[in-house]
Amino acid sequence: MASHASHGGSPTKRTFLAASLGLSGAALLAACGKSADSKRSALVVWHSYRGREKAALEEVAALYSAQVAGKARPVRCVGVPNDAFADKLSAAVPRGKGPDLFIFPHDRLGGWVESGKTVAPIDFFLNEEDRQSFLPGMLDATTYKGVTYALPLNFKSAALIYNKKMVPNPPRTTKELVEIATRLTDKGRGRFGFAYAYDDYFFHAGIGNGFGGGAFNAAGDLILNDPANVAASDLVRKWRSELNLLPDDPANSLVTALFNEERAAMVMSGPWFLGEASKSIDLGIAVLPMISEAGDKPMRPWMTIEAIYLAAGTPDEHEAWQFAKFLAGPQASAIMAQKGGQLPASQAAYSVPAIANDPIISAFKAQGALAVPMPNLPEMTLVWSPADKAMKRFTKMETTSQSAWNDCQTEVQAAIDALRASQAGGRA
């Protein structure tokens, strides 16, 4: 299962090797090059899948190619290392050297639109039936400034993953979470009722968003030092330092090891964790507990939505659209779910009994209904590193939550102001 987002840091990026292609980065771009005046023999799709996701995508591409044989070009899937994916797209597509389509999370959309010549709008092709075919909120994530640029394929968000032997009934509220965690925690012996990467803003946002905070408000203003974010951080400080419930080291690798060694009963993580969890553990998935300290509001973790984009300048947008619609449709979504382990964005995919009756998929779908699509604003890329730094400062008790978020707000706002000034200068 792929990782959860595309912001910086080891747990939030997939590192995929291009060794199977036998191509260097430069050779890969050259092999996929095209001019706007001529078509290649195949419709080229860039992706960063591997393992079962890669195999499932190739099966879908072969199925589509067989269906359109003689009427349209076959589809060729080209793997690109994830760490270099965004930069390769930004460099290649505006020069006519990129793919016809590409698969990528939604959070970089705003930056691509603002820089121009990278993604093509698809509103011309979308009818109302298409718009209603996705789970609620999914298409909003691939829309920027009122224009839609991609079709959602799958989603990922954190949820509560628990060891059924240790926790027969998962907590419904943070009050219950603390009660269970207190009973199961013996810090001296390295045992914990609950563990997660609490100094990683991606994970913490579930609590911050649940309190009513977040990174930006509806108007696009930065609100990192909002009282709701401070209250959420104070709650984590309490769990960490007053109640002594969380491990001193919140690294994702340690959280995984604790769970696999049955020294952590519950963790907050996403579908990517399932590939790392020990097969000997009977695990369950549940919606994250409601926040007792916020009037039983639900936790609302960030959600990343992987989508299929039409690259700007593709020679035949209609042909590219036909494959995009097929890949996002019920038949392909069911294959990607059952064989690729993905959580489909397609409504119709859940009419397949094997998907509808899968307890893990059902639990993540329920969590997804409460999750918040990660902002696709260009400014969001400026938030991650300073926010992670703020998390580390207050969880280590180096400063107060308010002070940490005030400093973070100042740092990120300065970076945003510089970015906007640069954009304005570029348009002048």
| Per-residue pLDDT tens listing for the chain (428 residues) | 444 444 433 333 222 223 233 333 333 333 333 333 456 899 999 999 999 999 999 999 999 999 999 889 999 999 999 999 999 999 999 999 999 999 999 999 999 999 889 999 999 999 999 999 999 999 999 999 999 999 999 999 999 999 999 999 999 999 999 999 999 999 999 999 999 999 999 999 999 999 999 999 999 999 999 999 999 999 999 999 999 999 998 999 999 999 999 999 999 999 999 989 999 999 999 999 999 999 999 999 999 999 999 999 999 999 999 999 999 999 999 999 999 999 999 999 999 999 999 999 999 999 999 999 999 999 999 999 999 999 999 888 889 999 999 999 999 999 999 988 887 776 65
- Do the beta carbons of residue 405 and residue 234 sit within 8 Å? no
The phi-psi region of residue 348 (left if phi > 0; otherwise alpha if psi is between -120 and 50; otherwise beta) is: alpha
User: What letter represents residue 182's amino acid?
Assistant: T
Cβ–Cβ < 8 Å for 245, 192? yes
State residue 172 phi and psi, 5-degree precision: -95, -20
Would you put residue 296 in left (φ > 0), alpha (ψ -120 to 50) or beta? left
Cα distances (Å, whole numbers) of residue 415 to 42, 223, 379, 385, 410: 42, 14, 9, 12, 9
Give the span between the Cα atoms of 88 and 80, in whole angstroms. 9
Eight-state DSSP code of residue 352: S
The pLDDT assigned to 401 comes to: 94
Neighbouring C-alpha atoms within 13 Å toward the C-beta of 88: 26
Which is nearest to 160 in space by CA: 66, 264, 48?
Answer: 264
* Alpha carbons 158 and 268: distance in angstroms, whole number: 6
Q: Which of 407, 211, 269 is nearest to 260 (CA)?
A: 269
Any idea what DSSP says for residue 90?
H
Structure tokens at 91: 């460099």
Instruction: Take residue 170 and report the two structure tokens written for it.
Output: 């998962």
* DSSP-derived pairing of the beta strands 302-310 and 192-195: unpaired
Q: Is 165 exposed, middle or buried (0-12, 13-18, 19+ CB in 10 A)?
A: exposed
- Residue 154 pairs in a beta bridge with 306, 344
